[in-house]
A = this chain, B = another copy of it.
Amino acid sequence: MRIGELSARTGVPAATIKYYVREGLLSGGERRSHNQVEYGEDHVRRLRLVRAMVEVGSVPIAKVREVLAEIEEPDRDLDSTLGVASRALSQHRVPAERPAEEDLELAQDVVRRRGWHALPADHDYMWTLADAIRRLRELGLADMVDMTGEYARAAEIVAEFDLALLSTRQERDEILEAMVVGTVLGDAIFEALRRIAQAEVSGRVYLRGQRNPKEEE
């Protein structure tokens, strides 16, 4: 197909497609003549993958390139590739500076109380967790630190399902693509469902006749 059709099928403007090719996110099409370049189904799929990262995950172009480069390194160990890709997709949440020891300890406590094997304190996600805990403490919202226990229970349900989805896939490409899509779209889906569930639970409380604090005044 020509670039116009590729653009129509993916909703990505032709200028953006050319930019992605220049930036190495997408292979160039096959040149058929002076002014005709052919694109195929692989391009459609790759563009959709890039758009999921950029539009839903707000992943910067440089990180998208990093993730795609990992996927295209067939000799690399799968676990290490999964780790690199997963970190690239989550970088925006990681604090720039190492959290205080005290907060890293609290983060480890959350994990241990759930019966999980704690990750090393210097793991990106332990930093993210410790940073969030510090902010809650500084705002005097200690009871919200305790909520992390319930959050961990819910996260385990989601993670078990995430891993089950990967385990049905055999090919390296498929596994990596499912991981990238699952990470980015999974976050968005969970955020949306959390808010929809809040509306649902809030409605239930209301129906039970428990009035909201405003009305109790």
Which residues of A pack against B, CB within 8 Å? 45, 48-49, 51-52, 56, 58, 77-79, 86, 90, 92-93, 110-111, 116-117, 119, 123, 125-126, 128-129, 131-132, 135-136, 138-141, 143-144, 147-148, 150-163, 165, 167-170, 172, 175, 177-178, 181-182, 185-203, 205, 210, 212-214
Contacts and interface: CB of A to CB of B under 8 A. Distances in A.
Contacts of A123: 196
Query: Chain A: interface secondary structure?
Result: helix
* Residue among A92, A167, A196, A203 having the largest count of chain B Cβ atoms under 10 Å: A196
Contacts of A117: 200, 203
Nearest to A89: B195
Contacts of A119: 196, 199
Contact of A185 (B132, B161, B195): B132
A122 to B, nearest CB: 13
A160 B214 CA distance: 19
A57 to B, nearest CB: 10
Contact of A157 (B92, B141, B153, B177): B153
A155 B194 CA distance: 5
